[in-house]
């Protein structure tokens, strides 16, 4: 069965249409928020386990040996160096995973997804509504990691506008990717497969544990193809570096990726078959 939203995907948007899309997006988001608000503690804690393990194993365990061998490129020690990467990692994992499993549950198990597709709203509104729910999931988990970072470092720049901007962009990128994956996978096993081959490698290769500038040229090209790299380096620079040394290119890169996912996701909603 093909369900077409009442507003075609390719129709040119007028200012009134943009306001309508924003309003409809909030309506879609509110439906997910009613479910999220009763599980705030669970969601905030769900993405905290892996960062805590990495902080204990790499930051406190291996970090002491690394501090004796080399001086970290940013921060006073290796633990402080990896903390911004842990924020990036947790926001990526929950924004992607929470969004994907939410849509999969509606499509494959509760069978309520067709009701969303029948709403007389633009496909962009459907995408943005689901994406915003993923962004909120990622920010709630990131808040827990940021609290830990504040305790260990005392760096209030973890709450600076620039840091939060990059964090929101990262959540938008991976929540958007989660929407696309959730619309296309046929089973939860497929989600696990994509997670193992996409999210887990990116967790280690996305500059969370190392400075990508120290890599050979070939590996540097590979690492900079990953959006998480721009988030990790941007967050780290926002905390420890002056504005003159901030990698400003990370913001437009993440923005372009988020926009590209929005276009793909809206098209998927416009032609979705369930």
The per-residue pLDDT for range 14-47, each reduced to its tens digit, is 555 777 777 888 888 887 787 777 777 777 776 6
Cα separation of the two ends of the chain: 6
Taking only the tens place, the pLDDT of each residue in 221-254 is 989 999 999 999 999 999 988 888 899 999 999 9
pLDDT of amino acid 41: 76
**Stronger pLDDT, 105 or 233, i.e. the higher one:** 233
pLDDT at 146 over 60: yes
What is each CA distance from 98 to 12, 194, 218, in whole angstroms?
32, 14, 33
- 94, 43 Cβ separation under 8 angstroms: yes
pLDDT of amino acid 107: 76
Mean pLDDT of the region 57-82: 71
What is each CA distance from 173 to 2, 143, 156, in whole angstroms?
27, 18, 25
Mean pLDDT of the region 115-129: 80
pLDDT at 136 over 80: yes
Nearest-angstrom CA–CA distance, 44 and 238: 23
pLDDT of amino acid 6: 44
**Stronger pLDDT, 188 or 170, i.e. the higher one:** 170
pLDDT of amino acid 234: 93
Mean pLDDT of the region 71-81: 75
pLDDT of amino acid 232: 93
Mean pLDDT of the region 111-127: 77
Taking only the tens place, the pLDDT of each residue in 171-201 is 999 999 999 998 888 877 777 788 888 888 8
pLDDT of amino acid 259: 94
Taking only the tens place, the pLDDT of each residue in 13-22 is 555 577 777 7
**Stronger pLDDT, 83 or 11, i.e. the higher one:** 83
**Stronger pLDDT, 234 or 59, i.e. the higher one:** 234
What is each CA distance from 110 to 39, 63, 102, 123, in whole angstroms?
18, 46, 10, 21
Percent of the chain exceeding pLDDT 70 equals 85
Of 195, 197, 230, the closest CA to residue 212 belongs to 230
**Stronger pLDDT, 269 or 165, i.e. the higher one:** 165
pLDDT at 5 over 50: no
pLDDT band at residue 1, thresholds of 50, 70 and 90? very low
pLDDT of amino acid 116: 74
């Amino acid at each position: 069965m093909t369900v077409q939203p009442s507003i075609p995907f390719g129709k040119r948007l007028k200012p009134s249409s943009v306001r309508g899309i924003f309003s409809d997006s909030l309506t879609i988001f509110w439906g997910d928020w009613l479910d999220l608000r009763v599980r705030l503690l669970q969601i905030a804690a769900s993405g905290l386990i892996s960062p805590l393990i990495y902080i204990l194993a790499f930051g406190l365990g291996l970090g002491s040996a690394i501090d004796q061998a080399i001086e970290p490129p940013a921060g006073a020690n290796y633990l402080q160096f990896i903390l911004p990467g842990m924020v990036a990692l947790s926001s990526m994992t929950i924004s992607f995973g929470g969004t994907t499993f939410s849509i999969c549950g509606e499509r494959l198990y509760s069978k309520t997804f067709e009701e969303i597709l029948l709403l007389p709203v633009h496909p962009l509104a459907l995408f943005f509504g689901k994406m915003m729910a993923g962004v909120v999931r990622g920010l709630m988990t990131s808040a827990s990691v940021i609290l830990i970072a504040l305790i260990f470092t005392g760096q209030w720049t973890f709450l600076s506008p620039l840091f939060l901007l990059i964090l929101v962009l990262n959540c938008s990128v991976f929540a958007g990717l989660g929407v696309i994956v959730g619309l296309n996978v046929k089973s939860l096993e497929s989600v696990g497969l994509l997670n193992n081959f996409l999210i887990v490698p990116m967790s280690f290769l996305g500059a969370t544990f190392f400075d990508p500038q120290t890599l050979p040229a070939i590996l540097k090209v590979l690492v900079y193809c990953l959006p998480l790299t721009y988030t990790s380096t941007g967050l780290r620079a926002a905390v420890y570096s002056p504005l003159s040394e901030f990698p400003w290119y990370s913001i437009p890169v993440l923005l372009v990726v988020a926009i590209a996912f929005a276009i793909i996701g809206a098209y998927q909603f416009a032609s979705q078959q369930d």
